[in-house]
Structure 1
Amino acid sequence: MKRLLEGETILSLVVLALAGLAPNLFPAAQAGVAKLSFLGKAVLAPSIILLGGTLLLARSRGYTRLVRRTLAGAGAGLTATLALEVVRATSFRLGGMPGDMPRLLGVLLTDRFMQGPSLFSDLLGWSYHFWNGAVFGIIFAVVFGPQPLRWFEVYGFLIGLGFLFSPAVSALGIGFLGLNMPAMPLTVILAHAAYSAVLGCLTNRWLGRSRGGKTGT
Structure 2
Amino acid sequence: MSNPVSTQNGVDTRRRILALIAFIAGGAVPIQLVTLSFGYAQYVQGVAKGPELVPTAHEFAAWYVPLVYVPALVALGGIALYSRRRYPGLFRRIVVGFGAGLVATLALDAWRQTGVIYGWLPGDTPKMFGMTVTMSKKMAIWYPVGLLVHYFNGANFGLVYAFVWGKQGSYRSAAVWATVWMLIVELGMMTLPPMGPMTGLFGAQFSWPGLFLITLVAHVFSGLAMGLLVEQFLTEKDRAWLLPFLMSRQQK
With normalisation by structure 1, the TM-score equals 0.88
Q: Is the 8 A contact 2:89 2:237 kept in 1?
A: no
Does the alignment pair 1:118 with 2:153? Answer: no
Deviation at 1:158, TM superposition (A): 0.4
Task: Give the structure 1 partner of residue 50 of structure 2.
Answer: none
- RMSD over equivalenced CA pairs, Å: 1.8
Task: Give the structure 1 partner of residue 185 of structure 2.
Answer: 159
Aligned mate of 2:110, from 80, 86, 92: 86
Task: Give the structure 2 partner of residue 212 of structure 1.
Answer: none
Task: Give the alignment of 1:1-217 within 5 angstroms.
Answer: 2-19=9-26, 20-32=28-40, 34-59=59-84, 62-112=86-136, 115=137, 117-147=138-168, 148=173, 149-172=175-198, 174-180=199-205, 181-182=207-208, 183-208=210-235, 215-217=236-238
Larger radius of gyration: 2
Q: Is the 8 A contact 1:30 1:171 kept in 2?
A: no
Distance 1:195 1:124 in 2: 22
With normalisation by structure 2, the TM-score equals 0.76
Deviation at 1:5, TM superposition (A): 4.0
Distance 2:64 2:16 in 1: 28
**Number of matched pairs:** 206
Distance 2:89 2:163 in 1: 9
SS in 1 for 2:167: coil
More moved, 184-193 vs 78-87: 184-193
Q: Is the 8 A contact 1:37 1:111 kept in 2?
A: no
Q: What 5-or-longer segments of structure 2 have no aligned partner?
A: 1-6, 45-58, 239-252
Question: What percent identity do the matched residue pairs reach?
Answer: 29
Q: What 5-or-longer segments of structure 1 have no aligned partner?
A: 209-214
Distance 2:232 2:177 in 1: 15
Which of structure 1's runs of 4+ aligned residues deviate more than 3 A? 1-6
